[in-house]
Chains A and B, each alone.
Chain A
């Protein structure tokens, strides 16, 4: 069996090892030390037997196996190598391995390096098996490549060019790739043995970048020898992206563009002739093949020229003049972002220098373009959106809080400020962070923190790529691979997946926070005119705010100043919170209003230590607060009166509706204490519950029915308590005993009130002693009570009250305001048509005497749930509804979108349900409810409405109700129709739980829902048949 066959068997044929999580969690797997090293040692002994070495003993003596990521893989790799050495016997290798087993200088450092490499990288083990003599490169003192002269750019270039010599064709390709991998072998050995990988990660990247440049140079040498031996064509290779910035990882596409020049050299104003261009193109094509094409020796990486002018459609090579023309007139914003990292790396040095000189300034002028910042940011968001959801969490490069977020934050600020400040015009991410911190564009501690995160993420990325030398940034899914990764990332301490997962989560969270704050923090410093901290001028700060979506940046800056200037504790904390807050507000529908509200809150709570503590300590609360302030004017308005409610945001339980009984008790205690002057306290209580419900709605914590129930309960309690207060004021000792009840109709009766509903009510009373009542003029007294109740309930001393409207009472405005129960009975007895009772279907006692309310209900039940509804009555109802449709719809309103009276609107659905209640209520107890949805559910349950029709009606009703609430929450005013204003529609969509940008989708959804509902209503309520169709047969399916 040859080495490679054996290796394949191991990789593919081995069953998954059982994983012991608990043991791994404690670090150092006891089962491993008991069994694995012994298997590993078996492999080592086999190798010793093959070569006559003493590697096993040496490894044991130096305690090497325990330090490895995967001792078994390491030993097996060594065995494969030994087989290759035994077969080929390359000069000096046997000797070196023998020396490694003793402590002879010929084997200095060889065994630990070899085991580290074979234990961590299958790809490099394969390289060693292919080229056993490369083992000799791992002998030596101290780091092999890092920090030494051999890693200097020129030295690397010389080494690779020398390896190629004057070879051409396949031999040249093999020599180049082999020499490149020998260098990678040395680098990986240095990297894996480094005590603190995060400290050298930038140097590792730098060497990889220069090594890539050297490979391109050597590749170009080969291509020239093959295609242009006379050296007639001038080409320079410009590296973009990571290679350009000197921060390449182990395996990555290398982004380049190619420049060429005329026969007269770099400064020749004449473009190259046709023949020269063809030669140059074939050289570049050959170069790409030499580096990344298929050959006996595996490819290095892809050379990608897609960032060239016009992308993949553009010509491969251009002259400096052509580049200049393109960047002047054609290039898109993101192309300048790419230019930021460009650097000539190979080919004609003078041509490269000239290119850099002529194009560098474009990067720094890009910021003058309109919409530049937003364009670049939108690009970043798109990248995140495009990641498959299950990958996003495992992606350490593109995912949220990943490498790209760090790079992006740095680049954006460089692009924004580099125009005026040359000190931040650097290529690498770490250099950029340092410079930005130094010059005050980001806070120094932010710069340092981001750099630390970046280094760690890069180490993890490198460790992900070392095993197979494949381009990947995805964290492994299997525990086995996670364990190996953890053991290569951490050199000491616990080397467990648990630690790695925690550390990564922590780093990504920090990166995310930095990323969110970094743009706004300097604005803050500019607003507080703290020139020590920042060099951002006020004008620059305003421009940045405008770029991020504030309509009135000047005023916004004023708010920021007011919040954050000075040395008060509040200012200090606002300075901490604002960077993130501004970012969140900017993503809301109305950032300017949100910021103003935040300022007002800050001013009213300036001295509340709990508020400042909340801001400082609870990021999620601040996030919620930003959402509320920038989305709901109604809620914001209530918050101004009750700023302490901000605290509820920190505690989801406090956003739950209060129990009705508890609320009632609280209200009646207020009446007990304040008697006739309880009004203001009761309005406070009522608005407090409105606010609680509104907050829960805006934050998406409750559905529409629960919200409606909470609002109705609050209204019931409020009216009941106001009545008690009014009676405490007006009833004197001389007033005869009487009961008084308020009967709600309409939406309050249905317990489905919104944020702004007039309450339709009727008043009823019952004297204990009718004779005495008559004598004392009780009728006049109760009228006073009713009037006082309506007045007190609606008194709007800045807080919302309830407008009680009694126009629906018997005989309307001309009838008495308050009637006795007997009077109601007498009135209703005169009715002849059951349809007249329709309005009573939603009558519900909400305040006052419970017995009287119950008796009222007893009185009307036979009316509203009659045993029989004659066809004539149904026809009457249909006619009435049809007439209302044409008469009640306000002038200019759109029949398709009017939420209440339009086709498929609230009234359509409610009448349909009410007709069913009227007809079948006497027989089906579930229909005897004043609320629309429960009645509809009961109708579906009893087969009175088909399930699909029921779903359609429910959906339309819910959406119309939801839209009314959302419009109210957004702007604090009612909306009669589907909003036309796009901003308002967008706000409603977000309040109804749609993704941002769904305004049009909401409009489509409502129109469709209403259209469907109208069809059902026409069938169920109006009883229209499909009789207008000329050819009924045509409607049948095939």
Chain B
């Protein structure tokens, strides 16, 4: 069997470093990390024929009667896992999922993103992403009927003396760097126990893999420090939710396609249309960028959450922001999509955001005027008069908008689209079926 250079490299590293297990990672349709461990002796076969598995038990992968699937590890994603919890040297690779006849599995989220990136490549673009990932650190993963208890009471950019958060961020950043994931920035966020770590920009596929790694790694480091990390979009009702503001840019070869010196905010026509596409399609991609019942509690709770569909330059309430960047530094021209939360499936979310932007470029959508006011402070009438729409108010609303979306169907592919809808309809139904403490508190004594 002929090995590629990268496969060679993986085999050699596994031998040199005495790696005992290789974890094959992939994502289910909802963005949950799945893992299969193999021993080094199986590695060559994994590169050759792949590793067969039964896909029927994985969310969204397949129905029982066509459940045979094959994992094909991507050697470019090979990395040692530097967690102290691992007693024996362990490595991981992300996998592409194939059908037994060799074709890509339609339900593989990585495939969905790759396909969308190929579409961008056909138009001459490559897509780069840089996320700011927020999460909470709580005392324990066990709620025992109560509310989650944050590990500290600090706020935005606070330094916490001897605090868990500082140690935690230091360890987390070191671990990420050890895995080759560059960190741009990290700090304490506004909520108690809330932290933010920004990853250095990378191409979208690498970044989606990185986000999957990031979430697994942060949870792992938390366990080691005896705390609990949560990426839930809105874990505390009176504190800000955890978003994943995402900076995106398109490159044509070496050139940043969003950059145009002398234009307003140095933003090129391509950039303006990309934003227009994002704004136009924001409601229908919302079920993907904000996929849980809980996501909408973050979006509609104030705290600078982007509830209204508009764009701005310094406007911290806008859904899309054109950040200030060093003038003349063409490569850092980018736009920030503030809608996503930390619980996304990064493959699917990047795919729909890219597709929306590309559609804006393709259809030459006009960019609506910039919103300069804090849109939260406007009245409904004012917003309406200004043509500013709202993001969906609930998962139910988002799902019904997505159901009518050709853009999302085309981007996800019919099978993932169908599965995703059914899953989210079920999530909504289960949510609606509850009688909540709110209702009991409010009604039980009076009715």
Contact = CB atoms under 8 A, between A and B. Distances in A.
A980 B99 CA distance: 12
B439 to A, nearest CB: 19
Interface string A365-392: 0000110000000000000000000000
B413 A1034 contact: no
Contact of B404 (A369, A1000, A1015, A1038): A1015
A1030 B5 contact: no
B65 interface: yes
Contacts of A332: 2
A1030 B394 contact: yes
A1007 B387 contact: no
B283 A982 contact: no
B219 interface: no
Given A1008-B409, A1008-B414, A310 B2 contact: no
Q: How many residues of A sit at the interface, in one of the four size bands?
A: 20 to 34
Contacts of B410: 1008
B370 interface: no
B387 A1011 contact: no
B267 interface: no
A1034 B394 contact: no
A412 interface: no
Given A1008-B414, A1015-B404, A1038-B387, A310 B5 contact: yes
Contacts of B415: 1003, 1007
Given A982-B101, A999-B103, A1000-B103, A1034 B414 contact: no
A894 interface: yes
Contacts of B394: 1030
A1029 B397 contact: yes
Interface in A875-904: 894, 896
B374 to A, nearest CB: 21
B63 interface: yes
A769 interface: no
A329 B11 CA distance: 12
A331 B65 CA distance: 39
A331 B2 contact: yes
A612 B266 CA distance: 75
A330 B3 contact: yes
A50 B401 CA distance: 87
A1008 B407 CA distance: 12
Contacts of A333: 2
B41 interface: no
Interface in B62-103: 63, 65-66, 99-101, 103
B1 interface: yes
Given A1004-B413, A1007-B418, A330 B397 contact: no
A1000 B106 contact: yes
Given A1000-B103, A1031-B397, A1011 B409 contact: yes
B63 A982 contact: no
A370 B1 contact: yes
B15 interface: no
A307 to B, nearest CB: 16
Contacts of A1035: 401
Contacts of B362: none
B390 to A, nearest CB: 6
A1034 B389 contact: yes
B5 to A, nearest CB: 7
Contact of B3 (A329, A894, A981, A1038): A329
Nearest to A1000: B103
Contacts of B384: 1033
A1031 B390 contact: yes
A1007 B400 contact: no
A477 interface: no
Interface in A1007-1030: 1007-1008, 1011, 1015, 1028-1030
Contacts of B103: 982, 999-1000
The residue in B368, B413, B414 that gathers the most chain A C-beta atoms within 10 A of its C-beta is B414
B280 interface: yes
A980 B65 contact: yes
Contacts, number: 72
Nearest to B415: A1007
Contacts of B101: 982-983, 999
Interface string B338-368: 0000000000000000000000000000001
A1034 B307 CA distance: 13
A330 B4 CA distance: 7
B397 A1030 contact: yes
Interface in B377-396: 384, 387, 389-390, 392-394, 396
Interface in B195-253: none
Contact of B414 (A369, A1007, A1015, A1037): A1007
Contact of A330 (B8, B389, B393, B401): B8
Contacts of B393: 1030-1031
Interface string B1-45: 111010010000000000000000000000000000000000000
Interface string A333-371: 100000000000000000000000000000000000110
Contacts of B392: 1034
Contact of B5 (A330, A999, A1000, A1028): A330
Interface string B46-60: 000000000000000
A1029 B400 contact: yes
The residue in A894, A896, A1038 that gathers the most chain B C-beta atoms within 10 A of its C-beta is A1038
Interface in B98-113: 99-101, 103-104, 106
Nearest to A1010: B414
Contacts of A329: 3, 8
Given A999-B103, A1000-B103, A1038-B280, A896 B5 contact: no
Nearest to A1015: B404
B394 to A, nearest CB: 7
B402 to A, nearest CB: 12
A1034 B404 contact: no
B367 to A, nearest CB: 10
A327 to B, nearest CB: 11
Nearest to B365: A1038
B397 A1004 contact: no
Contacts of B2: 330-333, 369
Nearest to A336: B2
A894 B397 contact: no
A1033 B409 CA distance: 23
Contacts of A370: 1
The residue in B3, B8, B389 that gathers the most chain A C-beta atoms within 10 A of its C-beta is B389
Contacts of A310: 5
Contacts of B280: 1037-1038
A1003 B397 contact: no
Contact of A1038 (B63, B368, B413): B368
The residue in B65, B393, B394, B415 that gathers the most chain A C-beta atoms within 10 A of its C-beta is B415
Contacts of B368: 1038
A982 B99 contact: yes
Contacts of B66: 980-981
Contacts of A1033: 384, 389
Contacts of A982: 99-101, 103
Interface in B409-447: 409-410, 413-415, 418
A1034 B104 CA distance: 37
Q: Which 9 A-B residue pairings sit nearest by Cβ, starting from the closest?
A: A1007-B414, A982-B101, A332-B2, A1030-B397, A980-B66, A1004-B414, A1008-B414, A896-B418, A1038-B387
27 contacts: A329-B3, A330-B5, A330-B8, A331-B2, A369-B1, A980-B66, A982-B99, A999-B101, A1000-B103, A1000-B104, A1000-B106, A1003-B414, A1004-B413, A1008-B409, A1008-B414, A1011-B414, A1015-B404, A1028-B400, A1030-B393, A1030-B396, A1031-B390, A1031-B397, A1033-B384, A1034-B392, A1034-B397, A1038-B279, A1038-B368
Given A1011-B414, A1033-B389, 13 more contacts: A310-B5, A330-B2, A369-B2, A982-B103, A1000-B104, A1011-B409, A1030-B394, A1030-B396, A1030-B397, A1033-B384, A1034-B392, A1038-B279, A1038-B387
